[in-house]
Amino acid sequence: APGTPPDALPSYVGLHPGEPNVMEPELLNDPYAGYGKLREQGALVRGRFLDDSPVWLVTRFDVVREVMRDPRFINNPSRLPGRTEKDPRAQLIELFGIPDHMARYLVDTILTSDPPDHTRLRRLVSRAFTARRIQDLRPRVEAITDELLDRLPAHAQDGVVDLVEHFAYPLPITVICELVGIDEEDRPLWRQFGADLTSLEPKRIGATVPAMVEHIHKVIGERQSALRDDLLSALIRARDDDGGRLSETEMVTMVLTLVLAGHETTAHLISNGTLALLTHPDQRRLLTEDPGLLPRAVHELMRWCGPIQATQLRYASEDVEVAGTQVHKGDALMFSLVAANHDPRHYTEPEKLDLTRQPAGRAEDHVGFGHGMHYCLGASLARQEGEVAFGKLLARYPEVALALPHEQLEEQERIRQPGSWRLRRLPL
Ligand code: HEM
């Protein structure tokens, strides 16, 4: 019942033979093999999701991109009143026991909006994330990185330091908090909010959401009496101007989305990417010998071991045929980025990490940041942080190595959760 969340997410595996639950532990154990197998079954695989709702898993690179830019697929299911399936977002909120008046902060985000709301929300924040603005931030990202790398030895115990705790998290959280305008003393709190929300433990999530919303209200309240040159102040101005460009709820949700999306994912790009480089000495050598390779290397690391493996659901707003399969109005679709990014129809030797891989098309030849209208707002920032982090870590500590055998590390520290690919710790 709402208000009494269970200790763990329920498992609904195996209720519909032939229709895999897309969150099945077997798939999560080895997602590259598991979702790869589904991809070879079809471009669209009929599966089950959460409390056994049907979902189409979109698996192949070209089809993922095609559907992601097709306006007939929408992100906000409440725009489909005829849909009989329960809104999965409502299911999650019920499961986590989040009170109704709090739920809206999680449900109505830029990512779950469609035009014209999406266009309005995206326009408000996109100016802060253009390639040019991000380039201007580079010296600051480099300085923060240098400072964190300087301090690494101080965190070592018996010569071993955890990169996740002392580098991969602090770098992006510092950068996004500076950009949004969250003061230094509040940043550990945000680290905790992120950890609670991604724990997928219903009780922790249920307790965190109200605390986080209250905190954001407090920060907004303080900032509105002394506006600064930061994104938070820009959002406050947008809320207060006559154009009605942003509601109070949308502002809270936007702050929450930017700070959480801005650090959780990037932290895992840094730790997954470092692990990949340390376990591929030939690729690591290429990169240390030619730092000019860094931008390409980050694209390839995003493809090969990107932190987001599946996206937000989309819904068909009308009957649509996709890759020869009939999708009906109201059907839910989920994109398997892990399957698409390793699709042999698009990449030669997809399982091989190759930092010199030549893109087949645009430079960013993967869907790790999504595609189309909802393409990651922070992609330029995340890529830049990756470039600076990998480049400086390898240059500063050329002897850096894993403190555990790779297999043992995967066994102990890999978090096997639906949709994400990340490490609890990375002892070096
Ligand atoms: C959207 C991945 C970093 C903010 C997305 C999407 C993906 C993604 C896959 C599209 C989801 C979908 O279509 O359902 C990543 C990865 C990152 C990263 C892998 C790091 C390696 C960031 C950063 C920010 C950010 C640093 C900081 C602002 C957003 C926002 C959206 C988004 C606001 C929603 C955009 C929209 O709906 O128009 N991200 N992201 N992300 N990302 Fe990122």
Phi, psi of 158 (to 5 degrees): 50, 40
Q: Among the listed ranges 86-90, 105-109, 241-245, 360-364, which one has the minimum average pLDDT value?
A: 86-90
Closest by CA position to 55, among listed 18, 19, 14? 19
Q: Taking a C-beta distance cutoff of 8 angstroms, is the pair 236, 251 a contact?
A: yes
- Residue-level pLDDT at 10: 45
Residue 268 binned pLDDT confidence (cut-offs 50, 70, 90)? very high
Residue 85 binned pLDDT confidence (cut-offs 50, 70, 90)? low
- Pick the residue whose CA is nearest to atom 5 on ligand 1: 376
| Identity of residue 197 | L
Q: How far is the CA of 124 from the centre of ligand 1 (A)?
A: 16
> CA 384, 160, 406, 276: dihedral to nearest 10 degrees?
10
Q: Taking the alpha carbons of 325, 328, 331, 333 in that order, is the dihedral positive or negative? A: positive
Flag whether pLDDT at 345 surpasses 80: yes
Give the mutation target among 256, 335, 377, 421 for probing the ligand 1 site: most ligand atoms within 8 A of CB: 377
Closest by CA position to 277, among listed 393, 422, 421? 393
As for ligand 1, residues whose beta carbon falls within 6 Å of it are 110-111, 122, 176, 257-258, 261-262, 265-266, 269, 306-308, 311-312, 368-370, 374, 376-378, 381-382
In the chain, what percentage of residues exceed pLDDT 70? 93
| Identity of residue 397 | Y
Q: Which residues pair with 333 in a beta bridge?
A: 56, 314
- Residue-level pLDDT at 17: 61
Flag whether pLDDT at 96 surpasses 60: yes
- Residue-level pLDDT at 93: 76
| C-alpha distance across the termini of the chain, in Å | 44
> CA 111, 113, 116, 119: dihedral to nearest 10 degrees?
-10
- Pick the residue whose CA is nearest to atom 37 on ligand 1: 111
DSSP character at residue 387: H
- Residue-level pLDDT at 264: 92
Is the bond preceding 116 in cis, omega lying within 30 degrees of 0?
Answer: yes
Q: How far is the CA of 256 from the centre of ligand 1 (A)?
A: 13
- Residue-level pLDDT at 5: 45
Homologous superfamily of 25-423: Cytochrome P450 (1.10.630.10)
Q: Among the listed ranges 22-26, 176-180, 197-201, 363-367, which one has the minimum average pLDDT value?
A: 22-26
Residue 235 binned pLDDT confidence (cut-offs 50, 70, 90)? very high
| Assembly ipTM | 0.99
Is the bond preceding 77 in cis, omega lying within 30 degrees of 0?
Answer: no
The span from the CA of 39 to the CA of 342, in Å, is: 10
Structure-model confidence comparison of residues 173 and 94, the more confident one = 173
The span from the CA of 167 to the CA of 162, in Å, is: 8
The span from the CA of 106 to the CA of 95, in Å, is: 13
Closest by CA position to 84, among listed 252, 329, 327? 329
Q: How far is the CA of 379 from the centre of ligand 1 (A)?
A: 7
- Pick the residue whose CA is nearest to atom 33 on ligand 1: 377
pLDDT tens, residue by residue, 274-327? 999 999 999 999 999 999 999 999 999 999 999 999 988 999 999 999 999 999
- Residue-level pLDDT at 16: 60
- Pick the residue whose CA is nearest to atom 7 on ligand 1: 369
Flag whether pLDDT at 370 surpasses 50: yes
Q: Among the listed ranges 28-32, 47-51, 83-87, 356-360, which one has the minimum average pLDDT value?
A: 83-87
Flag whether pLDDT at 2 surpasses 60: no
> What ranges do the domains of the chain cover?
25-423
Q: How far is the CA of 369 from the centre of ligand 1 (A)?
A: 6
Residue 1 binned pLDDT confidence (cut-offs 50, 70, 90)? very low
Flag whether pLDDT at 24 surpasses 50: yes
User: Which runs of E-coded beta strand occur in 109-219?
Assistant: none
| 11: three-class secondary structure by DSSP | coil
User: What average pLDDT does the segment 134-139 reach?
Assistant: 94
User: What average pLDDT does the segment 345-352 reach?
Assistant: 96
Give the mutation target among 144, 179, 258, 376 for probing the ligand 1 site: most ligand atoms within 8 A of CB: 376
Flag whether pLDDT at 198 surpasses 50: yes
The span from the CA of 93 to the CA of 104, in Å, is: 10
Q: How far is the CA of 3 from the centre of ligand 1 (A)?
A: 30
Residue 359 binned pLDDT confidence (cut-offs 50, 70, 90)? confident
Flag whether pLDDT at 75 surpasses 50: yes
- Pick the residue whose CA is nearest to atom 15 on ligand 1: 369
- Residue-level pLDDT at 158: 95
Residue 83 binned pLDDT confidence (cut-offs 50, 70, 90)? low
